[in-house]
Amino acid sequence: MRHNSGRLLAALLVVIVLVGECTYAGRGDKAGTSAAPELLIPVGGRDLALGGASLAISSGVEAIYWNPAGLSRSKYTTEAMFSHMNYIADIGVEYLAVGTAIEGFGHIGLSLKALSFGDIEITTEDEPDGTGATLSPTYVTLGLTYSRLLTDRISVGITTNLVSERIDRVTATGVAFSAGIQYQNFGNLPGLSIGVAVKNIGPAMKFDGPGLLREATATALSRPASFYKVEAASDELPSVIEFGVAYQYKLQEENVFTTSALFQNNNLSDDEYKLGLEYGYNNTFFLRGGYNISQESIQDSYIFGPTLGAGVHYPVGGIDVSFDYGYRYVKYLDANHVFSVLLGF
């Protein structure tokens, strides 16, 4: 059984790496040009406070975003999580996820991420100071995740995300796939975990709709002014491939230290290196910190900085309740604040 699981793990790792290598160009000079950038916006106070370095250890419904393989490592039969982030430019990020175990099948998870922009004043070529009307863009990502334990050490998972974007009278829709693996006690070393994931693989997206119509007169034809449609360009999804490692050390039974590191290869921006550290006391109180490094940070163009956070876990009336907070420094703009609540049944 162990021999067959090892072969399956090796095959899955090869598939993930090959898909990643065939997808990624690693173009730092294309930063900011992707479609559906909301796919990269993190969720959950715990994992963000760890600097996003939790690929190998993220578990339960919070793992749906970070590594879908971690969903099947949930300690509960059913979980629910809500997360709110104060993102850049006064954008709010709301996230809701639920997951449940199905005996003999695995774990199923549903997730919903929505961005709130507030009201934005509409401007035109003729009225650059505003028309008096407003619009409110709608960006929604709906995900379905399947995860399963292959052995007590190895778990796999895959997520399918349906992406929908609407800005005034134009819309764009797309599909993005993510897959991951986690291996705990790697190399028979207790506390050592590794993770591999490929995220946001899918066809390019482009906008369409009546908002792309423009009134013009064809100079080479004898016809009155007519509406012509501007053909929008297609853009790639912000695909990434990630390799992560983590080590958990227990000092007596109450004090647990977890260190984590991650390498992230981006298809449209520079590669990133992420570090995280967590201290847990009696599985009740947690302190966390993290840091990200990239070529952009060396060039002083990377806007995200250190992360910090804390969490509290306590059973209430038979339900395990966790409150987590994450802080991320943002250069030139207000810092990101993430609040999340997790319920385990």
Tokens 């971690």 map to which residue? 70
Q: What pLDDT was estimated at residue 303?
A: 86
**Residue 343: pLDDT band with limits 50, 70, 90:** very high
Q: What pLDDT was estimated at residue 131?
A: 85
Closest CA to 240 of 186, 187, 294, 192: 294
Least confident of 161-175, 208-222, 289-303: 289-303
Does CATH number 2.40.160.40 belong to domain 2-203+239-344?
Answer: yes
**Residue 8: pLDDT band with limits 50, 70, 90:** low
**Residue 24: pLDDT band with limits 50, 70, 90:** very low
Burial profile 199-227: b = 16 or more Cβ within 10 angstroms, e = fewer: bbbbeebebeeebeeeeeeeeeeeeeeee
Integer Cα distance of 245 and 99 in angstroms = 25
**Residue 10: pLDDT band with limits 50, 70, 90:** low
More confident residue, 147 or 220: 147
More confident residue, 215 or 110: 110
Q: What pLDDT was estimated at residue 27?
A: 52
Domain boundaries, the chain: 2-203+239-344
Rounded to two decimals, what is the model's pTM? Answer: 0.87
Q: What pLDDT was estimated at residue 30?
A: 60
Q: What pLDDT was estimated at residue 25?
A: 46
Alpha carbons within 13 angstroms on the beta-carbon side of residue 157 total 38
* 91, 113 Cβ separation under 8 angstroms: no
Mean of pLDDT values over 311-330 = 95
For residue 276, pLDDT beyond 50: yes
Q: What pLDDT was estimated at residue 151?
A: 93
Strand partners, 30: none
pLDDT tens-place string over residues 28-81: 556 567 889 999 999 999 999 999 999 999 999 999 999 999 999 999 999 999
Mean of pLDDT values over 117-133 = 84
For residue 299, pLDDT beyond 80: no
In eight-state DSSP terms, residue 11 is H
Q: Which helix (H) or strand (E) holds 36?
A: none
Kindly compute the dihedral angle of the four CA atoms of residues 325, 331, 332, 335, in this order, to the nearest 10 degrees: 0
Tokens 């995220």 map to which residue? 199
Average pLDDT score, the chain: 89
More confident residue, 266 or 302: 266
